[in-house]
Amino acid sequence: DIQMTQSPSTLSASVGDRVTITCRASQSTTNWLAWYQQKPGKAPKLLIYKASSLESGVPSRFSGGGSGTEFTLTISSLQPDDFATYYCQQYNTYPVTFGGGTKVEIK
Amino acid sequence: QVQLQESGPGLVKPSQTLSLTCTVSGGSITSAAYYWSWIRQHPGKGLEWIGNVYYSGSTYYNPSLTSRVTISLDTSNNQFSLKLSSMTAADTAMYYCAGNPSDGRVLGSAFDIWGQGTMVTISS
């Protein structure tokens, strides 16, 4: 299985901050990498697919980058609605695997 | 717009088999457009992919669960189902059904459709 490691596990930030979350894969996933946002009691919501493609309806302050084994999710200016947990996921190889999550908290 | 809704028991006894159903609305489960998956989330933890089924009936399962998992289609009711046998306390989790578009690759794309989830607790 491809192991996905996210850092940091928790991030404290203020509204307006630029925030970057990193996801590292134990082997190359080429660019078959997605990012999800999950709020308490809710299902995950797709933000980014194919490493850098923005899902329809997702604000442009979200962006994804990277390829191979290292990927990033950046929020250019953190908004109150963005405080949540974020997960990366590889879909290059079965079984599909997710990172452990990064919780973005209010500073 | 395709929507998913999970249903099934919220409480299962140890050693029993869990049966969950995901009803697909706004689209056909027999369409080649989507793969249909089950994903679970242990309380306070991350996401674990259980397996999927395609319109053809072909399935892929997570090797960590493959001996206990069956995922199948019910085309007459536009549903797909999960059966997980020999349940233990370690299977207590929120169970989600999800869909990801077929893009010509074996795995398809990312999960862009999710049900709201159903909490399953294992207890005698």
Instruction: Check pLDDT > 90 for residue B105.
Output: no
Nearest C-alpha of chain B: how many angstroms from A76? 23
Q: What is the pLDDT of residues A49-98, one digit of tens each?
A: 999 999 999 999 999 999 999 999 999 999 999 999 999 999 999 999 99
Q: What is the mean pLDDT of residues B24-51?
A: 95
* pLDDT score of B71: 98
Sign of CA dihedral B108, A5, B60, B117: negative
**Interatomic CA distance for residues B123 and B88, integer angstroms:** 8
Q: What is the pLDDT of residues B106-122, one digit of tens each?
A: 888 999 999 999 999 99
**Interatomic CA distance for residues B73 and B92, integer angstroms:** 24
Which two tokens mark B88? Answer: 């233990």
**Interatomic CA distance for residues B66 and B96, integer angstroms:** 18
Question: B108–A46: do the CB atoms touch at under 8 Å?
Answer: no
- For chain A, give the mean pLDDT: 97
* pLDDT score of B70: 98
Chain A residues with CB inside 8 Å of B100's CB? 91
Q: Does B34 touch chain A (CB under 8 A)?
A: no
Question: A96–B114: do the CB atoms touch at under 8 Å?
Answer: no
Instruction: Check pLDDT > 90 for residue B104.
Output: no
Question: A43–B46: do the CB atoms touch at under 8 Å?
Answer: no
Fill in the amino acid letter for B68.
Answer: R
